[in-house]
Every structure is written in structure tokens, then in C-alpha cells.
């Protein structure tokens, strides 16, 4: 076990992500939290990972923004004795996969909902990941200064759409033009209007008291109302958050459960950020520390490569600055400069043979064949594809029928990113060929014979993923549901982890 001073460092850490549909107010809320932490001093300082919708066709601009966003990928600051790490997630839905992976590195999440729009698509999808991982979440109903949905309806919607029980912690004094303030339900001001008194009676009758254990199990979300823009309700959220959100929690590895307080260091890589300067191909590999303490210039084991490595310039992220650090603790994110040694999912340890689970791939939404457009550069192309896939830019499947390479993405943008980067970083040229495909499904069955029959019958639709697993490439929803009907003993999974 670590000594008590180090244990205290871990206990005071709160590592979380803010998730929302674009425009719900994630950037504004992040900024206000940083202001409370004294990490920034003026509003408007966080441009963050925000990728403007208008920029979708101009992805060069997006990549520039992604370059800038290295520093804002993690924002650390101290507040009221706690050390807070906010992990930024790209708002653009074409980068949803990045966001899913970031969620594997957090101990909790805050969901921001636009009170005029209610629960939107992206929030629903991200919340599915939280539910899968039993991540504790708090909900911030933002933009109460605008005319929006009724606060009770919003909670009903959140319960139904997000599949989680809700209980309010604060309540809004008015809404829209009449919105003034919020108050804590356990500290109610005197002289409330009859309307508000009616609300309170309803709340007391319907909603359970906040139960921290249920919250920590991911079953109950405390709900806050406010306006990030007007900085109302934000401090209430922050104070409640630091007191109730979990410090780093035990993490399941394949071999055993890892406790954050162990003195043995362990960490896994959840994100690789490429340098946008093509002349200088170095990356930053982001590691979430799961246990112990990380020290600069100390040898650690890179488990997949079975190699000892040490790091002279590890970085941590304070506010919006990247700083070299000598030590970091469980719960923290360290950025390790890398020249191609790391893949997403890699584990570093003090020497133990350990593998962390829980970095699922999701079925992509779009598929294309990738072909070589410059026969002299086959090697460069193969290397480029392989490294970009290690970075998690997209997923590669190889057709079992003809060996052709299929790239799967969540959005059109990634195809453009891949083509550009292959050309500029690897001097390789690629060409895309259309492929009508609905979903990639990882298949599993206890019935070996049925599985073999299926694979034979569907040979032309079978592919292999990066880990050598069988994937059924369904070309339409109809084909998939027919397959599900005909092969009752086969389970079709839409994520690689099951």
C-alpha cells in the first residue's frame, strides 16, 4: 500500500468527463468550473475541443483545432482541497469513438442537457456507454434562463431516455425571463411563491432522497438546474460534486482487480494524439493511472512489448497548460511523448503482467474499401494504415473472402482525415471504393457447429478485426435480422466487448 500522504493524494482526486449533445453548454460549463478553480481568470478562455458545426466540410480546420486541443484534452485544477481532472470529449459526432474511449478513463461523468431541447441523440448514445460501465453520473439541466421544458418533464425525460433514476438536488426559482436563482432542496429559503411550494410538495412526494450508494452504483443521478452562461447553479453543482463524486475506484484487469491505493503503478492508454506537424511524427499517448504513483525517469514495463521504458518528459495538464511532471497519482492522466510504441489499450506496470479490459470497439456506421493508389508505395501505405488504426482513428477489417481491407468509421470526416494523413505523414496514396454495409457484428456462440455453418454460408460477408476475431459484415438491417432468426444460437454483438 502507498503511504498515507500518497493515499490522501488519490482520495482527493476527481476525474470526470462532461458529456452532452453539441451546443448544450459543455464548453461554457467547463469554463465556469475552471473559473471557480481559479484555473482561468476570464470567461471565453476555453475554446477547447469545440469543433464548430459549420466546419464539417473544412476538416483541415478541424484538425488544426484538434491540434490546439491537446492542451485542453485534460484540464486539472484544485478546488476546496480536491484535485479535479476534467477530460474533454470532442463534441463532433464523427469523433464519437474518441469520446467512448475517454469515458473508460473517468471515474464519473456530468451530463449537460439543454432544458429547451431535452435529451438529444448524442447524449443518449454516450449515456449508454456510462450505463454499460456503471459510471456514476450527475445531470445539469442547463439554459434555465431560456424558455424551456417544464423542470419535472425534463426529469421524466431524463429517466426514460437515459435509463436512470433521477432525484433533484437543486431547484430553479423561475424559468426563462423569470429565472433568478436556484436553491438547494435541503436548504430551502423562506417565503417561496405558491407555485414553488407546490413544486416542493410534489418533489417531496415523488422523488427519493439522494442516496450516495445508489449514485455510486450508477443507478441514481442527482439533478441540478441552472445556467452555465449566467453562472447560476454552477457552484451548487461543483460543491456537491467534489463531496459526492467518487475518487479513483478499483479497476478490473483480466488477471485481477487493481486497487488505486496499491503501491504498484499501473496505467492504460486510452487515447493517442498525433502531432499535426508532419515533419515531426511524434504523438502523445494519454495514460490513465489506475494504481500507485508514477515517477519521471523510472522504468516501467510496457506489457504488450515486454519491454522496460522510462519517460524523461511526461506531462500533466494543469488548467490549459501542459507541464512536465515528476510524479502523478492514481486518477491522474499523464501524457507520454511517443514515437509509435503505444497502441490504444496498452498497459504500463511496475513489472507485473497485466491487461486492462474495457476499451470496446463499436460497430462503425460507414464502411469503404481502401485501395492503394500508388503501387510504388505499398509498404508506406500498410504502415500508415496500421499506425492510424493503432491510434484509433478508425477500424480495420479484412475480408475473409478476398483479403481486401475495409475501413469502418463513424463519420465521413474520418475517411478524409485518413487520406490526408496517409499522404502527408506516410507519403502514401489511397483510393476509396464504395461498400454498401449496414453493421459489423462480433459473433459468438456455444454451438460450435452452428457457428461453423454460419461462417461457411456467409463466407462472403465474413471479415477479421484487428484482434483476429470473426466479424459478420451485414449489408442491411434485413439481412441481419434474418441471420438472427435463422441462427438462434449465435449472438450478434455491436461492440467488440461482450
Binding stretches for ligand G4P (CB under 6 A): 20, 22-28, 50, 91, 142-143, 145-146, 227-229
H helical segments located in 73-145: 96-103, 121-133
Give the shortest CB-51-to-ligand G4P separation in angstroms: 9
Neighbouring C-beta atoms of residue 325, cutoff 10 Å = 18
Give the shortest CB-139-to-ligand G4P separation in angstroms: 14
Give the shortest CB-40-to-ligand G4P separation in angstroms: 14
* Identity of the residue, 26 or 301, whose beta carbon is nearer to ligand G4P in the bound complex: 26
174: left (phi over 0), alpha (psi -120 to 50) or beta: left
* Identity of the residue, 51 or 220, whose beta carbon is nearer to ligand G4P in the bound complex: 51
Q: Bridge partners of 111? A: 19, 139
φ, ψ (nearest 5 deg) of residue 453: -60, -45
Give the shortest CB-170-to-ligand G4P separation in angstroms: 14
DSSP codes joined into one string, 341-397: ---TT-EEESS----B-----B--SEEEEEEES-GGGHHHHHHHHHHHHHTTSSEEE
| Cβ within 8 Å of residue 19, ≥6 positions away | 26, 89, 99, 103, 109, 110, 111, 112, 123, 126, 127, 130
DSSP secondary structure letter of residue 23: T
* Identity of the residue, 229 or 317, whose beta carbon is nearer to ligand G4P in the bound complex: 229
Give the shortest CB-172-to-ligand G4P separation in angstroms: 11
Beta strands in 230-374 (DSSP E): 251-252, 257-258, 266-274, 283-291, 293-295, 300-302, 307-309, 315-318, 321-324, 327-329, 333-338, 347-349, 366-372
Give the shortest CB-120-to-ligand G4P separation in angstroms: 10
Q: CA 496, CA 498: separation in Å to the nearest integer?
A: 6
* Identity of the residue, 20 or 85, whose beta carbon is nearer to ligand G4P in the bound complex: 20
The maximal CA–CA distance of the chain, rounded, in angstroms, is 80
* Identity of the residue, 21 or 301, whose beta carbon is nearer to ligand G4P in the bound complex: 21
* Identity of the residue, 23 or 352, whose beta carbon is nearer to ligand G4P in the bound complex: 23
* Identity of the residue, 26 or 368, whose beta carbon is nearer to ligand G4P in the bound complex: 26
Give the DSSP H/E element, type plus range, for residue 215: helix 212-216
Among 274, 411, 272, smallest CA distance to 342 is for: 272
Give the shortest CB-53-to-ligand G4P separation in angstroms: 9
Give the shortest CB-470-to-ligand G4P separation in angstroms: 39
* Identity of the residue, 178 or 357, whose beta carbon is nearer to ligand G4P in the bound complex: 178
Amino acid at each position: 500500500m502507498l503511504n498515507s500522504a500518497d493515499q490522501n493524494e488519490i482520495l482527493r482526486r476527481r476525474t470526470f468527463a462532461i458529456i452532452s449533445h453539441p451546443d448544450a453548454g459543455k464548453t461554457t460549463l467547463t469554463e465556469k468550473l475552471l473559473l471557480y478553480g481559479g484555473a482561468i481568470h476570464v470567461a471565453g478562455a476555453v475554446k477547447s475541443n469545440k469543433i464548430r458545426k459549420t466546419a464539417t466540410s473544412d476538416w483541415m480546420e478541424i484538425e488544426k483545432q484538434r491540434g490546439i486541443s491537446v492542451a485542453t484534452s485534460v484540464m486539472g485544477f484544485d478546488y476546496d482541497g480536491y484535485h479535479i481532472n476534467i477530460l474533454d470529449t470532442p463534441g463532433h459526432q464523427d469523433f464519437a469513438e474518441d469520446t467512448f474511449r475517454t469515458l473508460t478513463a473517468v471515474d464519473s461523468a456530468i451530463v449537460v442537457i439543454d432544458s429547451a431541447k431535452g435529451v438529444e441523440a448524442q447524449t443518449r448514445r454516450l449515456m449508454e456507454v456510462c450505463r454499460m460501465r456503471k459510471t456514476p453520473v450527475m445531470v445539469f439541466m442547463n439554459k434555465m434562463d431560456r424558455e424551456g421544458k417544464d423542470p419535472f418533464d425534463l426529469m421524466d425525460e431524463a429517466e426514460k431516455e437515459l435509463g436512470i433514476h433521477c432525484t433533484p438536488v437543486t431547484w430553479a426559482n423561475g424559468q426563462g425571463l423569470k429565472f433568478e436563482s436556484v436553491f438547494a432542496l435541503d436548504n430551502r429559503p423562506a417565503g417561496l411563491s405558491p407555485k414553488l411550494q407546490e413544486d416542493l410538495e410534489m418533489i417531496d412526494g415523488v422523488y427519493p432522497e439522494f442516496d450516495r450508494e445508489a449514485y455510486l452504483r450508477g443507478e441514481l443521478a442527482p439533478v441540478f438546474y441552472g445556467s452555465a452562461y449566467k453562472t447560476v447553479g454552477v457552484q451548487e453543482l461543483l460543491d456537491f460534486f467534489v463531496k459526492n463524486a467518487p475518487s479513483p475506484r478499483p479497476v478490473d484487469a483480466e488477471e485481477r482487480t487493481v486497487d488505486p491505493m496499491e503501491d504498484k503503478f499501473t496505467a492504460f492508454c486510452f487515447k493517442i494524439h498525433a502531432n499535426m506537424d508532419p515533419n515531426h511524427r511524434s504523438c502523445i499517448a494519454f495514460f490513465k493511472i489506475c494504481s500507485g504513483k508514477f515517477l519521471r525517469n523510472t522504468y516501467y514495463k510496457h506489457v504488450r512489448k515486454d519491454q522496460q521504458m522510462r519517460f524523461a518528459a511526461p506531462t500533466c495538464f494543469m488548467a490549459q497548460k501542459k507541464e512536465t511532471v515528476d510524479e502523478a497519482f492514481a486518477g491522474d492522466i499523464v501524457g507520454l511523448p511517443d514515437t509509435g510504441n503505444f497502441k490504444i489499450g496498452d498497459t504500463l506496470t511496475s513489472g507485473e503482467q497485466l491487461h486492462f479490459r474495457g476499451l470496446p470497439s463499436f460497430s462503425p456506421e460507414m464502411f469503404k474499401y481502401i485501395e492503394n493508389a500508388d503501387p510504388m508505395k505499398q509498404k508506406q501505405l500498410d504502415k500508415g494504415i496500421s499506425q492510424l488504426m493503432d491510434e484509433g482513428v478508425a477500424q480495420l477489417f479484412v475480408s475473409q473472402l478476398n483479403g481486401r481491407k475495409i475501413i469502418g468509421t463513424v463519420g465521413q470526416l474520418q475517411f478524409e482525415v485518413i487520406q490526408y494523413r496517409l499522404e502527408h505523414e506516410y507519403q502514401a496514396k489511397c483510393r476509396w471504393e464504395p461498400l454498401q454495409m449496414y453493421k459489423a457484428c462480433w459473433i459468438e456462440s456455444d454451438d460450435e457447429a452452428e457457428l461453423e455453418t454460419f461462417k461457411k454460408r456467409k463466407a462472403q460477408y465474413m471479415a477479421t478485426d484487428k484482434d483476429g476475431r470473426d466479424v459478420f459484415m451485414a449489408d442491411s438491417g434485413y439481412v441481419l435480422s434474418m441471420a438472427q432468426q435463422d441462427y438462434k444460437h449465435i449472438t450478434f454483438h455491436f461492440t467488440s466487448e461482450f
